[in-house]
Structure 1
Amino acid sequence: MTDIVREGAPILRKKAKPLQFPLSPEDYQRASSLLTYLKNSQDKRLSQQYQLREGVGLAANQIGWDKQVFAVYFMDEQNRQLAYIFCNPKMTNHSSQMVYLEQGEACLSVDREVKGYVPRYEQITVQAFTPDGHPFKLKLKGYAAIVIQHELDHLHGVMFYDHINKMNPFQLPNVESIRPIS
């Protein structure tokens, strides 16, 4: 946790720079370390030993690395383990329907509880590259789409609470369709 950049650090508000392929050995190792952190944070023994807060996503700028890369590690709604490293990711499509987490969102860079609803697209399509430079495309929905949008925001200098209504944190946007996910 001492390597995680905390809220207020200027790098968290900066648009990250694209990675150049092939990755240098140092950049390849850094990208891999994002996923390693997430796996370790979800292992009870390792998280206690190293005092890690559990995370499902981690962006490069959250470790002080100004590049367009993030990792995710979580179970989706179909009980499939998703473990990906996204290099130079771009959201290429999204639904008009929206969702939000009933309990709100959290972030490894934010050490305080932030109450309020964070509206996200219910379905998205993301294109990215693996650390080896191979392109891939994913269509995601529900919780998985929320996690990816949270991490994509980091790469654009946006924090999750920027999406919360400032006047009324539990007011939802006036859109055609929005529903909670628990």
Structure 2
Amino acid sequence: MNRTASRALAAARPVIQGLTLLNLLYGLSLIALLCFSVFMNGWPERALGFDLLAKYPQAPWGLRAIVIVGIAGAAIVHTVLRRLLAIVDSVRGGDPFVLDNVRRLTLIAWSVVALEVLRVIVALIAAAVWEPGRIDGFSFTPWLAVLLLFVLSGVFAHGARMRADLEGTV
């Protein structure tokens, strides 16, 4: 392993742990926001400081729905970060080509698909509540990431099979 990759691997664990903490705070903040939205009289106008209902009467329900989608997204991101940390630990331990990492990468790929579906749901909610008929544009980037993750999962599966074959010949 070259020096840059070694440094990146050493930094990956604390970075992922920090992102996990930030994501947890994000999820808890969204849960608090959802609770406040239910119990606060005049939400969201009072919190925002202007009358949103005059122009968008469905805004409170749309905002609550988006917050719920955000909570689901935070839960998905948490599982991605946990799986990624397990992969980093296996690489640091010198044993990356194992079937557990194949499963982790596959599940991360499906999680990215789920996150992209949530993004589309948010766009549909926004289109229904604020901008009828206008839906957010399609982006190839997340779908390329999904493809890359599935390919990488296949590479790890092939590496795990080669490793098993090698161990069987020794």
On whether the aligned pair clears a TM of 0.5, the verdict is no
Greater helix content: 2
- TM-score normalised by L of structure 2: 0.27
Highest CA radius of gyration, 1 or 2? Answer: 2
- TM-score normalised by L of structure 1: 0.25
Greater strand content: 1
